[in-house]
Amino acid sequence: MLRVVGFASRLCRGPARQLSAAAASPIPAPNPSPEIAYNKIFINNEWHDAISKKTFPTINPATGEVICQVAEGDKADVDKAVKAARAAFQLGSPWRRMDASHRGKLLNRLADLIERDRAYLAALETLDNGKPYSIAYLVDLDMVVKCLRYFAGWSDKFHGKTIPLDGDFFCYTRHEPVGVCGQIIPWNFPLLMQAWKLGPALATGNVVVMKVAEQTPLSALYVANLIKEAGFPPGVVNIIPGYGPTAGAAISAHMDVDKVAFTGSTEVGHLIKKAAAESNLKRVTLELGGKSPNIILSDADMDWAVDQAHFALFFNQGQCCCAGSRTYVQEDIYNEFVERSVEKAKSRVVGNPFDFKTEQGPQVDEEQFKKILGYISTGKREGAKLLCGGNPAADRGYFVQPTVFGDVQDNMTIAREEIFGPVMQIMKFKTIEEIIERANNSKYGLAAAVFTKDIDKANYVSQALRAGTVCEGKVPELSNSAKITNKYGNCAQKFSHPSAVNRHLL
């Protein structure tokens, strides 16, 4: 298992640093009512109604009102998209004949177009997802562009190796694209998750059938038009809005899809892996849920630890797979840490996501809104101490107050299940040995963080934690290169495979 251990100085703040650095640069004023240009299915560089003619509404989570109707793709549309992708992948097609360096050029051109339309895409993301416009513009779109450029640079840098064999043989390997890649993306970072999936797949010469989340289809569909404008051949990228049990299930079980990549819940991940196994044993890449421990030792810098723990939980309305959602604090600093964390949560600005002052927008939809409030009720019922928040934050829309629980026990529901919302759980511990055991006592293992001024303690704890990413002195964040690579094992290599060639030397 590949694991990334990151150490950060006070100068390294990730998205928080991006926000402060970018604050000096003017952000274009948002258009809170961006024109909706694309709401259909994108196949073969053309827009199509669903074969069934069905549509579904996409909702503005800040108001609960319908933005527009979107074509509802299902199995028939997936079949159509896979057929187009397979044709684009045939030997001799423009895509298969294209030089690797030119694939990189197309990815860079797509990044250029996204930069050109950055303000519009940020507004569309805010309207459909609910995240603050300033965050969408400064963080999400910035990382989308960097991600695409990162993988554009890799396009012509995948190569095989020679292997010594006995006898008069010359053996070498080359990396070949997997083929038709099904990709199912979530709603919490619609544009960034689209870039994370498209970047490595296209850099290595694959073709894509992507299902976008039904909660947030609009920004990804707009990017589909930019893909066509950038010059990608027809059929290379096909994008289907639709529901998981229909369109998503059809991709996972399709006999002509060579690989499926999914980011989302652990429960759905089980279904996808089962469908892949029961169909054509297609390759599967899963990036699922988390309940990441955020460990604060008694010698940690209190100001820094409080700020980072707050950011780790509340960023993106708490809708992050790697959120530091189990905050463990050593007992001799517990009371002060709790008091300061509550003050910080109470001061968090919740409101209109198009307002530059807003730090927290609405949850993505009514289902998530009710689910989070249900977890809060469960926490109170099971004996956790509600220190602030716990209620809806507005009369309309899906806003939840920043919520902090203290005196949380490891066996409580809110300490074990992924809430995916602005609900902080703070727990007390005595010794390092104790916290290592408790932190590892989870069905999740996505990420972790430890805060201490003692490098020996930091290294000891990080080595003992069972998590794919462990950060020392900072919290796990969405990165453009190392983190992308870690989450997918090695992203680009997951979308290619070595092919061995043995040649007899005459």
Contacts with 444 (C-beta within 8 Å, 6 or more apart), sequence order: 266, 289, 290, 291, 292, 418
Contacts with 85 (C-beta within 8 Å, 6 or more apart), sequence order: 180, 207, 208, 209, 235, 236, 238
Query: How far is CA 345 from its chain centroid?
Result: 24
Is 72 one of the annotated active-site residues of the chain? no
Q: For residue 420, count CB atoms less than 10 angstroms from its CB and return exposed for 0-12, middle for 13-18, buried for 19 or more.
A: buried
Q: Which of 420, 417, 424, 461 is nearest to 442 (CA)?
A: 417
Report the C-alpha gap between 211 and 213 in whole angstroms.
Answer: 7
Return the HEC string of 75-141.
HHHHHHHHHHHHHHCCCCCHHHHCCHHHHHHHHHHHHHHHHHCHHHHHHHHHHHHCCCHHHHHHHHH
Q: Which of 6, 10, 205 is nearest to 97 (CA)?
A: 205
What CA dihedral angle connects 23, 153, 198 and 289, to 10 degrees?
-60
Residues 72, 125, 287, 359: which is the catalytic one? 287
Q: What end-to-end distance do the CA atoms of the chain give, in Å?
A: 42
Active centre residues (catalytic): 287
